Amino acid sequence: MRPEQQGIEVAVLVSVGRHPITGRARRADQDARGLELALGLERQLPGSRVGLLHAGPRSEENESALRGYLGMGLDTLTLLEQAEGSDAIPALAEHLAAAPPQLVITGARAERGEGSGLLPYALAERLGWPLVNGLAAVEKVENGVATLLQALPRGQRRRLKVRLPAIVSVDAAAPAARQSAFGPARRAELAATPVPAEPDRELAEWQLAPARKRPKRLKIVKAASARDRFKAAAAKAEGGSGQVLEGVSAEQGAEAILKLLNEEGVLR
């Protein structure tokens, strides 16, 4: 094996997720995808080491969610123990700076708390490392330079080269996480270290409420006359759900479909 093919050190930052329907704690989807990516990298570059890192309070609920990551096949998770409502960024930055890995992988956004997706950027800014978002795959790592595929909308991909050490964030385009197995999750170790924590005062001042349903924007009809507006409104009513065109020619049918495709803007 060539020397540049040597394994790298990868740290995966994971958070406690929240199921969108029931709100139960779980492994966060994007973080789990990040870990999946790291495990794939470990396979691709033998000798790589994957470390799991989480900063937050230790509770039964959190622990079971964190063990969800361990069930993907890791032995330990480093837990930087902090009080609820603390700012995780300084603790994580300090921990990463003390023993810098070559690659830090994190999900784009957390499923709890502010969930602003700032964490990777804040770490990159503090550590002075380059950051790539929307990662889909790591193609290769050679001579301290990683070749990555970044996900663009509609399944498109962009190839990037980034100098390590770097932070990458993954979203839903990264490979889906493998199943978490009960046995390894139960056996694995949570290595907890208490760290000093600053409370996130700003967050505490904000008002948090369960998300309201956003009002659906009415279709604004750019019609010049009342008649056109009326026509547009009437056409919408008749074109609403469950319209069935029977006994029309193929062209008429195709026209109706084309109209819908144009309205939805999926034709490019």
Partner 1 sequence: MSEIRRRDPRREWIARNRLHPEHASVVAEQGGAASEWLGPNGVIRKNPRAIGFIGPNGIKRIDRSGAQQGGQAASAARQAAQDSRRNVTIEAPAFLVAVVPELSGGRLSAHDKDLLGLARRLADADPERPGAVLAVVFGEHKEDAFGEAGIDRLLHLDDDAYAGFAPEARLAALSAVERELAPRHWLLPDSPLGGADLGRRLALRLSERPATGVWQIEADAETPLGWRCTARGAAESLDIQRPLPRVALALAECAEPVDETRHAAEPLYLTESIPSAFSRIEDLGQVAVDPAGVALAEAEFILSGGNGVKDWDGFHHAAKVLGATEGASRVAVDDGFMARHRQVGATGTWVTARVYLAVGISGAIQHLQGIQTCDKVVAINLDPGCDMIKRADLAVIGDSAEILAALVAMVEQQRGGQRDAA
Partner 2 sequence: MLETLLPILIFAALGLAVIGAWRRVRLWRQGRPSAVPLLKGLAALPRRYLVDLHHVVERDKVMSNTHVATAGGFVAAAVLMILVHGFGLAQGVLGWLLLAASATMFVGSLFVARRRRNPPARLSKGPWMRLPKSLMAFSLSVFAITLPAVGILPADFGHWLLALALAAVVVWGLGEMVFGMTWGGPMKHAFAGALHLAFHRRAERFGEGNRSTGLKALNLDDEAAPLGVEKPADFTWNQLLGFDACVQCGRCEAMCPAFAAGQPLNPKKLIQDMVVGLAGGSDANYAGSPYPGKPVGEHHGTPHGPIVAREGKALVDAETLWSCTTCRACVEECPMMIEHVDAIVDMRRHLTLERGQTPNKGAEVLDNLIATDNPGGFDPGSRLHWAADLNLPLMADVKQAEVLLWLGDGAFDMRNQRTLRALVKVLRAAEVEFAVLGTEERDSGDVARRLGDEATFQSLAKRNITTLAKYRFQRIVTCDPHSFHVLGNEYGELGGQYEVRHHSTFIAELYDAGRLAFAPWKGGSVTYHDPCYLGRYNGEYEAPRNVLKALGIEVKEMERSGFRSRCCGGGGGAPITDIPGERRIPDMRMNDVKESGAELVAVGCPQCTAMLEGVVDATAEVRDIAELVADALVARPAVEAVDASRRNAGKTAEEVI
Tell me 46's DSSP state.
Answer: T
The answer to whether 138 touches 44, Cβ cutoff 8 Å, is yes
Q: Per CB under 8 A, which of residues 152..211 are in contact with partner 1? A: 152-163, 166, 171-173, 202, 205-211
Using the rule CB under 8 A, give the single segment among 20-28, 98-106, 206-214, 229-237 that binds partner 2: 20-28
Asked if 150 touches partner 2 (CB under 8 A), the answer is: no
Asked if 32 touches partner 1 (CB under 8 A), the answer is: no
Instruction: Give the nearest distance from C-beta 175 to partner 2 in angstroms.
Output: 13
Using the rule CB under 8 A, give the single segment among 7-15, 50-58, 183-191, 253-261 that binds partner 2: 183-191
Rounded to 5 degrees, what angle do the CA atoms 102, 103, 106 make?
Answer: 155
Ranges of H-type helices in 3-127: 29-44, 60-70, 88-98, 119-127
Radius of gyration of the chain measured on its C-alpha atoms: 24
Please enumerate in sequence order all residues whose Cβ is within 8 A of that of 94, keeping only pairs 6 or more positions apart, or say none.
195
DSSP three-state, residue 145: strand
Q: Which of partner 1, partner 2, none lies near 71, with the C-beta cut-off 5 to 8 A by kind?
A: partner 2
Reading phi first (left if > 0) and then psi (alpha if -120 to 50, else beta), residue 256 is in alpha
Buried b (16+ CB within 10 A) or exposed e, 182-210: eeebeebebeeeebebeebeeeeeeeeee
The site for partner 1, by CB under 8 A, has a size of 87
Residue selected from 8, 12, 16, 18 as contacting partner 1 according to rule CB under 8 A: 18
Nearer to partner 2, 8 or 50 (CB): 50
Using the rule CB under 8 A, give the single segment among 40-48, 64-72, 93-101, 213-221 that binds partner 1: 213-221
Asked if 165 touches partner 2 (CB under 8 A), the answer is: no
Cis ω for the linkage preceding 165 (within 30 of 0):
yes
Asked if 235 touches partner 1 (CB under 8 A), the answer is: no
Window 85-124: contact mask with partner 1 (x via CB under 8 A): ------------------------xxxxxxxxxx--xx-x
Residue selected from 8, 12, 26, 38 as contacting partner 2 according to rule CB under 8 A: 26
Asked if 150 touches partner 1 (CB under 8 A), the answer is: yes
Instruction: Give the nearest distance from C-beta 37 to partner 2 in angstroms.
Output: 17
Q: Which of partner 1, partner 2, none lies near 3, with the C-beta cut-off 5 to 8 A by kind?
A: none
Rounded to 5 degrees, what angle do the CA atoms 107, 203, 56 make?
Answer: 50
Pairing outcome for strands 9-13 and 103-107:
parallel
Interface residues with partner 2 (CB under 8 A)? 19, 21-22, 24, 26, 71-73, 178-184, 186-187
